[in-house]
Structure 1
């Protein structure tokens, strides 16, 4: 970078130009004061976490890698770009700009208070803040500072002009706007100070690298500001900017700016399996102390979760419970807990966290509304773990006898009969009776695949067709499989999520006993809920000690059938089903366990025209049945299942031409069949299990035998399900 300089002109700038020795001393005093207030505030905030209980999971293991991973997440802004390009760019510009300005200020301090001081003590005072370094520094600072201003402008536009709905709510306060405007004034004020200095010093040619400041200087000159008046104005502008900056530093730990620290700490201490597994309850726990009874029950990580919330509303905007009119807003729950905790710490009144009567922090109906779909957690850019905290409150409701009546009845059915239908255990294998082949009994002979059928495929008439279709696929592919017949019990996944930890542990023990009485290599599940809890929770349950080393593979049936198709054991070549379909990602299979491709590959192998839902994969919209929702009655408008079917018929590329809504979860099947009726979609779209679609493809391809459903339809005289 070559510039023509005047004789004796040095390529640099004087940091405390026109401030004087007294002003410089005052600035250093105020800086020390601001930093002291900042450090005390940070210490006090983090000291609160030591008063929280120990977290159920290790959060600080492999800390160096955790920090590196969190730094990558933060620097790339990858979470902010999730589902929101505008928000991602906005946050990236603000964060990168802020960090650059912070680093630039630090470099300046190192030169002035370190390098110059040391070189002066050794002889002649020197500075590296000159020449090419200064020019490069000025260019980078101006460029990144400009991005900072643009990002803040985008934030102000979204908040106050567009008035993005998710940015406003019951916890929106003055500090939210003050935070954004303070940063904007800091950024704009910095350029004003720079412009005034450039004008006051006669537009040194090398300062053109500070292109924004140069432009501001030209504007000031254009409106009549003289060089002399700029010289007079400079100290006031400098002090105004400096005092605002120091005030901001001191303010950081005491208000919303603290999220710059707490959010990073939250990402560092995240649990990669949060929500897919839940913390257990100590065996010696007093029933009166299970769940959240007071702030003393919150773990340090749960407190950090609450402090990391930036009120961005991303969780609220994707919550299916909120969208359907249920009384749940995930953001408000987290912030309600935070507000209550801060109130109690400040000497405020204590009350129950969740209880009937209207005086608790959280209304029970709010917690019952949660579908445990984890959409809120997936959308959160700072890895707040909503669902585990919600589960703690459900546990409190359970222990205090305030569980939803329908759920209580279902829990009694599961406790007494081992299934959510309350039917006798002997009826569990009745679905096999309409097959024209015997389903092997895994209790009597070694098998490669132990097939856990699940409650709904065993007892629900609609889902029994799914089970028979899958059995037909296994038979056609020559799979060595077997089932547990009446020894199978409810998997407990949703039992745990409604707060019945004791019943969940009993079910897990019974199922593990049944597993251990058989010889097999792999467990295959019809239901993603079973797949989730067998994979992620049973191995970690105290007292069960099953599959802790992962020696037994657990798969969803779509994964196993995909392997059969890839190996050639299941030949789907030549099958061309003339259907236009869409596929719904189940929460427990997709968002919670990252299986998106196996179901889609199987749909494509049938020859169907697959049209993606607008909200798909990790952004899928819950059917409404998770977290016990299948067992509850809500006054919803619209039902999540109805909204999803409307989306299939109106928002996919094929639109109303979509004939079949393909699901891979028995609970989804039940919810969408219900939504098809209540939403008046019966004549417009058909709900079909993926196994049913595959069985139809096998039959259409000339495979030996007919599907179990075709047999059943012929016997009953009913129309085939896929007509």
Structure 2
């Protein structure tokens, strides 16, 4: 092994000072871009984070989430990422060797040169693979623009010209250790087998590589590649759930959360969210990917140091022509959370849309009419259906439930029906069936009847946070006054709100709320009663069922097995639909869409897509465990004239029927 192996840093390039001058300029442009981005983040409402080194390494540097979803894309991105990092580290070591400590000589240099060559191969193959992948998947699967193609072209230019510069240097010097740079040695033999390149050619190739590399560094924070820095940070920060009151939010004067501004920059525009979005699949026009991009552009133009040049400091209704951020699109969302489930950088377009809704509701200028009507009814009547409290209590009649509206008797369980289950004729049998089951099981059960408040879910999902606080406080105070310790809800939306939204809010009301009740969804109670053999349902032999996972039961809370175990205990054969468990397709009612009519111009209805999936299984029953899902799927089956093929039933009703023999 030749111990004299070494390399002249600026071989054939001419004087070094032009490079350092351009490098300094590139660093300044890079720093200005980073400052601009961070300035935007700082305009957001401060969030509470915990830094996770494991999250940074596993998901940020090793792309763990992407490997689970798309191994080929993960491999190609890892090749580009790690190839670039090694090559960048090699460049830094060369500068250290040149100006501080000479150490890249002999065996160290040979190992160094071979490592960089291998990293370069990995980098170029990864970039070429991504370029080819984008060609194959271009269109609706992987839409792109000049930034996407330009970035990939620039990455390839950096890698290929690096090898050409290496080959030209080896063709001139022809050192005995050329084997340590196999790609350059091979290219030199092909391009300059006899005569070495001239000085102009040598300098030209070197400077093309240098300029391409410096351009990549300089504009990294300014265009799409910024996600390569923002995404690892987004993955390394674990959010601590906190509740911010409408009053505190207004006092802060922030338009968006810090974490939303960060996650918008972390978005890689991979389009996975759009492919699973029920609104997008139904052809309604909502694209979580496009909305995230427009959100980031809007925030940048409004809050970055140079933003005042392009956009004034007005609100959403004074956006100007520099951005296409649509307030109406925010209300297309069903809040199903499918977008977050598939995002490789753990973004949640849902959070951006909810943040947007809050701002629209606060300004009150672009709120859809049906949303305004539902919120008006919620404010006036305590439910979005516009019904009186007397009507809300009608389902309790002729049941032996303790009426907690009239007395303060202690009960084991509070059966919280919720607005929709109490008032809609399709959903009311759910509550009555569950009441009969609990009484049959010997559980002392009560209902709030005409005093039952709205849990506040609809107000929260639509962005009316002040109304949510009022409704939630009423519910908490009433349950505490009645000494309620266990609650079973008929709606997954109520269960989610009580378990996820109430605790942070109660933390803000320490002087008024002393304890929170234990909250169960009724499918969990059924599963528990059957497992403990407290109830023994009859067997529906020979029947098949497809179970529709309600978004706020399954994806948002991770409750998938209890309802399926109940169905199996009834003797039913469960057939899974194409989209199930974490990947379940929304029925289309969540996020206030039940009260916001299907959109004009939509290709189909979301609920029709779901019923079509159920039909493909050949199941006799389409079972769900949510009043909103029950209504939407029942109406869809009727509209599609499939009543002879498949029957939409509720889990509690089916269990009650089996218990009745």
* Same fold (TM > 0.5): yes
Match of 1:58 among 48, 70, 84: 48
Structure 1 runs not aligned, ≥5 long:
117-126, 291-295, 700-704, 707-723
Aligned: 1:228 with 2:203: no
- Name the CA shift for 1:368/1:39 in 2 (closer, same or farther; >3 Å): closer
Structure 1 counterpart of 2:70: 84
The whole-number CA distance in structure 2 between the counterparts of 1:58 and 1:23 is: 50
Q: Deviations over 1:447-466 (max 9, x none)?
A: 33322221222222222222
Match of 2:155 in 1: 183
Partner residue, 2:605 = 639
Moved more, 504-513 or 600-609: 600-609
Is the partner of 2:101 in helix, strand or coil? Answer: helix
How far apart are the structure 2 equivalents of 1:211 and 1:607?
A: 66
Cα deviation, residue 488, structure 1: 1.1
Equivalent residue pairs, number = 650
What is the aligned partner in structure 2 of residue 257 from structure 1?
225
Match of 1:366 in 2: 329
Q: Is the 8 A contact 1:94 1:149 kept in 2?
A: yes
CA displacement at 1:686 relative to structure 2: 1.5
Report deviation, 1:140. 4.1
Q: Deviations over 1:416-448 (max 9, x none)?
A: 33223222223334334465xx12345543233
User: Match of 1:677?
Assistant: 638
Within 2, Cα distance between the matches of 1:182 and 1:356? 37
Is the Cα–Cα contact under 8 Å of residues 525 and 555 in structure 1 kept in the other structure?
yes
Equivalent residue runs for 1:137-216 within 5 Å: 137-168=112-143, 173-202=145-174, 204=176, 207-208=178-179, 210-216=181-187
Q: How does 1:658-669 map to 2 (within 5 A)?
A: 658-669=619-630
User: Does the CA contact (< 8 Å) of 2:274 and 2:287 recur in 1?
Assistant: yes
SS at match of 2:164: helix
1:95 and 2:81 correspond = yes
Flag structure 2 segments of 5+ consecutive residues without an equivalent.
none
The answer as to whether partners of 2:37 and 2:300 remain within 8 angstroms in 1 is: no
With the length of structure 1 as denominator, give the TM-score of the two structures: 0.81
Contact 1:508 1:544 (8 Å CA) reproduced: no
1:378 maps onto 2:353 in alignment:
no
Distance 1:451 1:12 in 2: 81
Distance 2:534 2:357 in 1: 45
Q: How much does 1:323 deviate? A: 2.1
- 1:601 Cα deviation after fit: 2.9
Conserved 8 A contact 1:454-1:530: yes
Residue number among 104, 112, 129 corresponding to 2:90 in the alignment: 104
**10, 26, 30: which is aligned to 2:3?**
10
Deviation at 1:517, TM superposition (A): 1.7
- Asked if 2 retains the 8 angstrom alpha-carbon contact of 1:111 and 1:129, the reply is no
SS for the counterpart of 1:150 is helix
For residues 661 and 393 of structure 1, the distance between their equivalents in structure 2, rounded to whole angstroms, comes to: 35
Cα distance change of structure 1 residues 284 and 602 upon mapping to structure 2, 3 Å threshold: closer
TM-score (norm 2): 0.88
Which residue does the alignment assign to 1:612?
576
1: CA distance between counterparts of 2:278 and 2:152? 30
| CA distance 1:107–1:608, shift in 2 (3 Å) | farther
2:33 corresponding residue in structure 1: 41
CA RMSD of superposed structures (Å): 3.3
**After TM superposition, which residue ranges in structure 1, 4 or more long, deviate above 6 angstroms?**
356-360, 546-550
Aligned partners of 2:62 and 2:24: how far apart in 1? 32
Report if the CA contact (8 A) 1:473-1:695 is conserved.
yes
* Match 2:527 to one of 558, 562, 576: 562
Q: How does 1:194-593 map to 2 (within 5 A)?
A: 194-202=166-174, 204=176, 207-208=178-179, 210-218=181-189, 220=190, 225-226=193-194, 228-229=196-197, 233-269=201-237, 271=239, 279-282=244-247, 285=250, 297-344=255-302, 345-350=307-312, 353-355=315-317, 361-399=324-362, 400=364, 402-433=366-397, 438-441=400-403, 444-541=408-505, 544-545=509-510, 552-571=517-536, 575=539, 577-593=541-557
Q: CA deviation at 1:336?
A: 2.6
Q: For residue 593 of structure 2, give the secondary structure of its aligned residue in structure 1.
A: helix
Q: Which has the higher contact order (CA 8 A, sep 6+)?
A: 2
CA deviation map 1:132-162 (0-9, x unaligned): x445444444444333223222321232343
Residue 12 of structure 2 corresponds to 19
Cα deviations by residue, 1:21-61 (Å, 9 ceiling, x for unpaired): x53444344333433332343234323433x1433x313xx
Q: Cα 1:421–1:546, aligned 2, differ >3 Å: closer, same or farther?
A: farther
Please state how far the C-alpha of 1:234 moved relative to its aligned partner.
Answer: 3.9
Contact 1:152 1:180 in 2 (8 A): yes
